[in-house]
Amino acid sequence: MASVPSTHVYVRHLRPPEGPSPFVHLPDPDPDHPSRSTTSKWWPPVMLRPEWAATAEFDVFHVQFGFDACSPQDLERLVEVLRERGKPLVLTAHDLRNPHHPTRELHDQQLGVLLTAADAVVTLTKGAAAEIRRRWGREALVIPHPHVVELDTMARLRREREQRRTDEFRVGVHIKSLRESMDPFPVLRVLDETLAELPGAVLQVNGHHDVLDADGARREPVLAAWLEEKAAAGRIDLRVHDFLPDAQLWEYLASLDVAVLPYRFGTHSGWLEACRDLGTTVVAPSCGYYADQGPVLSYGFDESHFDADSLREAIRFAHAARPDHGADVEERRAQRREVTLAHARLYRELLT
C-alpha cells in the first residue's frame, strides 16, 4: 500500500497491535533523496508526485495527509497517472476544512479533485460522512480513529493517574503556534474568570516560543502580554516551549483533568483522541465533528459565534463531576483490530 504518509501515527495504527498485518505500507521516500526511505521526515510527500506514482510498485494508493502541499492541478496529474496504471485510489477525509488555511477555497478544490476521482472514500465520523454526501455526492465508509498514544504508554499513564492524590483541578489550553483555526483569547478570558471561582482550579496555558517570546517570529503581542500579566499575578500557569516530543506531550496531557480545544473551525482531532487515551476530559467546540469522535463536553464556538455561557457550564460540570470520557487500553486494542480488518476488507474489494 502506498499510504501517504506511512510514518504518521494514524497510519501506523491502522496495522494490528500485534501479529502480522494483512497489508504492508511502503516506507515514505525521503523528500531530499526520493530513492531512499525515511522514518521521520516525509514532508512534502514524495508519493504525491506524479512521477513517483508513475513508476513505483504498489497495489493501492491511499491518501491520508499531505495533499495540501499540492496544487489542484498537481493532484489532477496524479489522478491521471493512477488511472492510466489502473491503480485504485482511496482517500481518507480527515479534514473537510484545513485548520492551517484562513479560508476554505483552496482546500475545497484539493478535496474536490480527490473525492471525485477516489475509488473509495473513508472518513472518521458519521457527521463528516453526511457532509461529504451533501457536498460531493459520495458515500464515505466510516471507520473510527484508532488510539494515538502507544498502548503500553497509555496503560502506564492511566495507572499513574489513578494513583494521583490531589484536590487540584487542572485545565489546559495548548495554543501551540496559533494555527489559523485557533482563537484562544475569548476562551482564555472565560476560563480565567470561571476557574477563579472553583476550589483547587488551575489554568495551564502552553504555547510555543515563536508566538509568545518578545522576539518571536510570529509573536502575538496582545495575547502574549495578557498571558504574561496573568502569569505574573499567579492566575495562569504559563509554559513556553517549542514542539514537544511525544513522551513529554503524553506526560503533559495526562497531567491535565481537562483539555479545552480553542478551535473556531475544524473537522476531527488527533489531540482529542490522545486525551481520550489518557483519561483527560475534552471540552470541544461545536464546530466540526469532535463530539462524533467520542464523549466530550461541548461549548458553542465557530466562525460566527462564541457561547461563553456554554463554556462556563462545561467547566463547572467537569469540576463537579470529574467525568472519565476516555477509552481504556483493551477497548483501544479491540478497536484497532477492527480498524485493521475494515481496511483489509476495503483493499481486498478494490483489488478483486
Tens of pLDDT, residues 11-28: 999 999 999 999 999 999
pLDDT at 42: 60
Long-range contacts formed by 158-162: CB under 8 A, 24+ apart: 158/254, 158/278, 158/279, 158/326, 158/328, 158/329, 160/254, 161/254, 161/278, 161/279
Q: How confident is the model at residue 35 (pLDDT cuts 50, 70, 90)?
A: low
Return the bridge partners of 38, or none: 28
Task: Report, as an integer, the average pLDDT of 21-46.
Answer: 75
- Residue 41 binned pLDDT confidence (cut-offs 50, 70, 90): low
> In whole angstroms, how far apart are CA 110 and each of 33, 141, 234, 293, 350?
26, 20, 46, 24, 23
- Percentage, residues of the chain above pLDDT 70: 97
pLDDT at position 44, please?
84
Can you tell me the mean pLDDT for 290-314? 98
CA distance 33 to 49: 13
282 and 272 in contact (C-beta within 8 Å)? Answer: yes
Mean pLDDT of 207-212: 95
Three cell numbers at 214?
518578545
The three cell numbers of residue 143 are 471507520
38 band by pLDDT with thresholds 50, 70 and 90: low
CATH hierarchy code of domain 2-147+334-350: 3.40.50
Whole-angstrom distance, CA of residue 227 vs CA of residue 210: 15
Judge whether residue 61 has pLDDT over 90: yes
- Tell me the average pLDDT across 337-350: 98
Task: Give me the residue spans of the domains in the chain.
Answer: 2-147+334-350, 151-326
266 pLDDT band (50/70/90 cuts)? very high
When the pLDDT of each residue in the chain is averaged and rounded to a whole number, the result is 95
Residue 178 neighbours by CB under 8 Å, 6+ apart? 184, 207, 211, 218, 220, 223
Lowest mean pLDDT, pick from 126-135, 158-167, 204-213: 158-167
Q: Is 143 left (phi over 0), alpha (psi -120 to 50) or beta?
A: beta
Say which CATH topology domain 151-326 has. Answer: Rossmann fold (3.40.50)
What number is the average pLDDT over the span 306-311?
Answer: 98
Q: How far apart are the first and last CA of the chain?
A: 15
Q: Do domains 2-147+334-350 and 151-326 have the same CATH topology?
A: yes
Q: At 215, which amino acid appears?
A: D
